[in-house]
């Protein structure tokens, strides 16, 4: 048996990454704002291997307008496993009829604020990892014998 069998970190196939992205709707956008890196939680939808989210005027929009380079991360911790998928790509503000795509998306904003600007992320790279967790403190046992 190779030592890989005990490696607690497993790379996901790109198709597994997309399936994970499609079956979730909450992630975090990392973007440049001038020379700073910023992160913000966002809910999103996937269509044809692109990600979409809604936003209002603000630093996110300013950031991706000034520098389209973004990262988007979605993760999940369930029992003994954590999964994290990261999309690296380019964001752009969809204007005019391009923004109509929003009508075809299963995009359900979680927070009831006015957000009417559609941003699309085209993926240049999608990577995902599944981690076997080692958290013995969750399994502390009390003997009652």
Distance CA 65, CA 63 (A): 5
Stretch that binds its own copies, among 13-21, 45-53, 69-77, 115-123 (CB under 8 A): 69-77
Residues 10-39: x/- map of binding to its own copies (CB under 8 A)? ----------------x-x-xxx--xxxxx
Between the two ends of the chain, the Cα-to-Cα distance in Å is 39
Contact between residue 26 and residue 73 where contact means Cβ atoms under 8 Å apart? no
- DSSP state at residue 112: -
Q: Three-state SS for 59? A: helix
**Nearer CB in complex with its own copies: 19/75:** 75
**Residues interacting with its own copies, by CB under 8 A?**
7-9, 26, 28, 30-32, 35-41, 69-73, 75, 77, 82, 84, 86, 88, 108-113, 131-135, 137
């Amino acid at each position: 048996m190779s030592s890989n069998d005990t490696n607690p970190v497993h790379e996901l196939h790109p198709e597994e990454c997309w399936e994970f992205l499609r079956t979730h709707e909450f992630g975090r956008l990392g973007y440049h704002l001038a020379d700073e890196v910023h992160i913000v939680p966002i809910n999103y939808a996937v269509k044809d291997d692109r990600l979409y989210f809604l936003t209002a005027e603000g630093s996110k929009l300013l950031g991706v307008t000034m520098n389209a380079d973004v990262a988007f991360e979605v993760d999940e911790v369930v029992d003994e496993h954590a999964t994290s998928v990261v999309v690296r790509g380019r964001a752009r503000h969809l204007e005019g009829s391009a923004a109509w795509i929003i009508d075809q998306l299963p995009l359900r904003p979680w927070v009831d604020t006015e957000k009417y600007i559609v941003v699309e992320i085209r993926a240049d790279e999608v990577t995902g990892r599944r981690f076997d967790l080692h958290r013995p403190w969750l399994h502390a046992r009390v003997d009652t014998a």
